[in-house]
Amino acid sequence: MTPLVLGGDDLISPRVNRASDHRPNEINDDDLLNSSFHPIVWLVAGCALVVTLGCRLPTGITHSRWAMEHPDYAEKYAEGAPKSDPIGKVKQASDARFLNGAEGTYVSAGAAYRSRTGAGFVADVGNENYLTSYLTQRMSVSGAAGWDQASIGLDTGLRLQTPTRLAPFVGIGGYAGMNWETVEADDDGVDNDDDGITDERGEEDTEYDLTMASIYPEVGAHFWWTPHARLTGFGRYWVTTDGRESDAWIVGGGLAFFRK
């Protein structure tokens, strides 16, 4: 898999070089670890979803008052709309305004692609707050990985959404962190792998960017499985400080649990 690279030469940042022991056409332990990393992450995420939600169906499947487990919603719709009031039924089946002030923890993961280096993988863990029933703020520790690249940093953003059970949203976010990657080094005049030969074919080196950043717009949708558990799907376009060739498309999903 071609790496996702989030930093670059255009960044003004400390840079350190370290010789790589990697040889052309040779599979080392790092390659084996990276090749099995992605399936393991998806397996763990899938198992977590099964364990946390179990075999439970989404609340409100057999009746329109879907969030009666939440005290604010239960008080508001204690009587419920009569069968002769279809508009009232739709309202109580979609109303999520009780989420104002809710706080939660989420995990998410996704696939990334950029034109210069191809595909990679991203994941993050963080907290999200409902500032109002239609506006959330989130912050997380985020990481990215590819065949010969990895990064870690902080991600934050705002999302504007409908105050409904199925809630489409638009948002804006930003990322700042550090990145390290393996790059081609067969024309730099240095014996990077200390084998006595300078600039042989396939010679590589490791570069470190201690500062990198990006901003991104995003679109997506939430679905509340229960009044406290939320599923999310999203798409983002990272605009990086390394120019348009390093921009990245990211598509992923997440699971969050909220309390109030």
Banded model confidence at residue 116, pLDDT cuts 50, 70, 90: low
DSSP conformation class of 8: -
Establish if 6 belongs to a structural domain: no
High-pLDDT (> 70) share of the chain, %: 65
Establish if 189 belongs to a structural domain: yes
Domain membership of residue 196 as a residue range:
15-259
Q: Side-chain half-sphere of 44: how many Cα atoms within 13 Å?
A: 10
Banded model confidence at residue 240, pLDDT cuts 50, 70, 90: confident
The SS3 call for residue 6 is coil
DSSP conformation class of 36: H
Predicted local confidence at residue 100, as pLDDT: 95
Banded model confidence at residue 248, pLDDT cuts 50, 70, 90: confident
For residues 133 and 130, what is the distance between their CA atoms, to the nearest angstrom? 6
Banded model confidence at residue 119, pLDDT cuts 50, 70, 90: confident
Which two structure tokens, joined as six digits, stand for 8? 């670059």
Establish if 5 belongs to a structural domain: no
- Short-list 222, 225, 228, 232, CA closest to 72: 228
What integer best gives the mean pLDDT of the chain?
78
Helix, strand, coil abundance in the chain, percent, nearest 5: 20, 45, 35
High-pLDDT (> 90) share of the chain, %: 48
Q: What's the average model confidence in pLDDT over 171-175? A: 97
Specify the range with the lowest mean pLDDT, choosing from 25-29, 110-114, 210-214, 235-239. 25-29
Q: Side-chain half-sphere of 127: how many Cα atoms within 13 Å?
A: 5
**pTM for this entry:** 0.72
For 53-88, what is each residue's pLDDT tens digit? Answer: 545 678 777 789 999 999 999 999 999 899 899 999
Q: Residue 197 phi/psi, 5° resolution?
A: -120, 130
For 94-107, what is each residue's pLDDT tens digit? Answer: 999 999 999 999 99
Predicted local confidence at residue 151, as pLDDT: 84
Predicted local confidence at residue 215, as pLDDT: 96
Predicted local confidence at residue 189, as pLDDT: 56
For residues 124 and 45, what is the distance between their CA atoms, to the nearest angstrom? 12
Tell how far CA 95 is from the center of its chain: 27
Predicted local confidence at residue 184, as pLDDT: 56
Establish if 7 belongs to a structural domain: no
- Specify the higher pLDDT residue, 208 or 61: 61
Question: Does residue 217 surpass a pLDDT of 80?
Answer: yes
Establish if 31 belongs to a structural domain: yes
DSSP conformation class of 158: E
Q: What's the average model confidence in pLDDT over 130-155? A: 90
For the chain, how many structural domains are there in total?
Answer: 1
For residues 5 and 242, the answer to whether their CB atoms sit within 8 Å is yes
What is the secondary structure of 89-135 as a DSSP string? HHHHHHB-GGGTT-EEEEEEEEEEEETTTEEEEEEEEEEEEEEETTE
- Short-list 7, 19, 27, CA closest to 147: 27
Neighbours of 136 (CB within 10 A): 24
Establish if 150 belongs to a structural domain: yes
Q: The domain that contains 158 carries what CATH number?
A: 2.40.160.20
Establish if 166 belongs to a structural domain: yes
Question: Does residue 6 surpass a pLDDT of 90?
Answer: no
Establish if 159 belongs to a structural domain: yes
Q: How far is CA 190 from CA 28, 61, 83, 207, in A?
A: 22, 66, 79, 14
Q: Who contacts 3 (Cβ-Cβ below 8 Å, separation ≥6)?
A: 117, 118, 120, 145, 146, 147, 148, 149, 181, 182
Predicted local confidence at residue 180, as pLDDT: 74
